[in-house]
């Protein structure tokens, strides 16, 4: 608490009397920023994070699945984050949900730093951190579904990466995730904390195995490409 108070004072002093312009990566974060006394009187713009669509794109799925050792009959659910022990990401709780999913040949692959215990009976592969974007794109392509039970996301970049590879997603309707995820039969966002809704969404997706259509991927490119983000940033600079 003492450190937080000192940090607040430091920032308030640094920004006071200066023409500071804040940039948030989602409307949700922009609304949170405007509640802070630090941003009082300052402008706040929204700029989504860029995605390298030359890397995160649909690839040869059969080849990607062989790369990770998945068999044709496997129903592959991918999940992951920077740190598996991050309480906000709540990966251990997600694995408990997946352990209750009714689906034959279910295979779960988890990426990220740290060590957590998998529920008994759940077929889980922990890859550790994936530092290569190319490897991450292969994993998304190999999966039938990407799922996250994160309790707090300012945007939800992993959802965009998965969708851009053609892989449907399931998660909570929380934070900036609804702004990152496109609506459609290839995405399901559930009420925050609703474990049953997550499980049912996963089972529904695995029963129908939808893929993200090219039209939706083009929409992602128009919104999150480096060129699009750079143009929006340029307009902010011009306005200043």
| Cα dihedral: 167, 171, 173, 178 (round 10) | -20
pLDDT tens track for 188-239? 999 999 999 999 999 999 999 999 999 999 999 999 999 999 999 999 999 8
Domain boundaries, the chain: 2-50+225-239, 61-220
Q: Please say if the pLDDT value at position 1 is more than 70.
A: no
Tally the residues of the chain.
240
Topology adopted by domain 61-220: Rossmann fold (3.40.50)
Sign of CA dihedral 165, 170, 171, 176: positive
User: Model-level pTM?
Assistant: 0.93
């Amino acid at each position: 608490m003492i450190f937080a108070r000192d940090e607040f004072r430091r920032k308030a002093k640094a920004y006071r009397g200066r023409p500071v312009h804040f940039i948030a990566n989602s409307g949700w974060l922009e609304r949170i920023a405007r509640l802070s006394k630090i941003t009082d009187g300052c402008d706040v713009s929204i700029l989504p994070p860029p995605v390298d669509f030359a890397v995160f794109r649909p690839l040869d799925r059969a080849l990607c699945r062989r790369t990770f050792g998945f068999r044709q009959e496997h129903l592959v659910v991918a999940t992951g984050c920077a740190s598996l022990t991050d309480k906000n990401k709540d990966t251990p709780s997600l694995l408990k949900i997946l352990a209750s999913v009714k689906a034959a040949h279910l295979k779960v692959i988890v990426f990220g730093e740290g060590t957590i215990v998998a529920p008994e009976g759940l077929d889980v592969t922990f890859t550790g951190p994936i530092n290569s974007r190319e490897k991450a794109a292969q994993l998304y392509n190999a999966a039938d579904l990407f799922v996250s039970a994160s309790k707090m996301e300012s945007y939800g970049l992993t959802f965009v990466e998965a969708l851009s590879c053609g892989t449907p997603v399931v998660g909570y309707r929380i934070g900036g995730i609804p702004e990152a995820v496109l609506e459609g039969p290839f995405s399901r966002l559930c009420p925050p904390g609703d474990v049953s809704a997550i499980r049912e969404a996963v089972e529904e997706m695995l029963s129908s195995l939808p893929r993200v259509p090219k039209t939706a991927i083009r929409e992602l490119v128009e919104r999150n490409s480096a060129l699009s983000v750079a143009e929006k940033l340029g307009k902010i600079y011009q306005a200043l």
